[in-house]
């Protein structure tokens, strides 16, 4: 059974999805841009990108649904190590952390 959607529904869906994506980023910026934040709050907010990256990568690194062999754990640990090293010790830059992870994934694909 094929479903056909009208152009209006597609445009409305794209508009609503854009609003749902954009508003959570814009509203804090709007409300916090003119306010003075305490140093403790600034330090706490600096850990948010690291926590988000860990929440996204943790399940992928330590849980593999396709295979239940222990070698896959070490492969993913090998993939995550350069990113962790880059983030924690060297650059403290999210862009270079993702770049290091992509480079280690490419290297692993070439090696295997």
Confirm whether 6 is domain-assigned: no
Confirm whether 16 is domain-assigned: no
Q: Which residues of 78-91 are buried (b: 16+ CB within 10 A; e: fewer)?
A: ebbebbbebbeeee
Confirm whether 27 is domain-assigned: no
**Domain range holding 68?**
46-112
Confirm whether 24 is domain-assigned: no
What domain count does the chain have?
1
pLDDT of residue 22: 92
pTM of the predicted model as reported, rounded to 2 decimal places:
0.47
Q: Which residues of the chain have pLDDT under 50?
A: none
Confirm whether 34 is domain-assigned: no
Confirm whether 12 is domain-assigned: no
Confirm whether 105 is domain-assigned: yes
pLDDT of residue 70: 63
pLDDT of residue 67: 58
Confirm whether 78 is domain-assigned: yes
Closest residue by Cα to residue 108 from 74, 60, 59: 74
Spatial neighbors of 67 by CB under 8 A, at least 6 apart, are none
């Amino acid at each position: 059974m094929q479903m056909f959607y009208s152009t209006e529904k597609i445009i409305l869906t794209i508009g609503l999805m854009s609003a749902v994506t954009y508003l959570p980023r814009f509203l804090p910026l709007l409300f916090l841009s003119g306010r003075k934040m305490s140093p403790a709050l600034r330090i706490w907010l600096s850990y948010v990108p690291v926590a988000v990256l860990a929440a996204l990568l943790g399940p992928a690194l330590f849980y593999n649904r396709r295979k239940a062999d222990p070698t896959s754990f070490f492969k993913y640990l090998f993939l995550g190590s350069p990113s962790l090293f880059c983030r924690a010790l060297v650059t403290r830059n999210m862009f270079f952390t993702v770049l290091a992870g992509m480079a280690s994934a490419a290297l692993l694909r070439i090696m295997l």
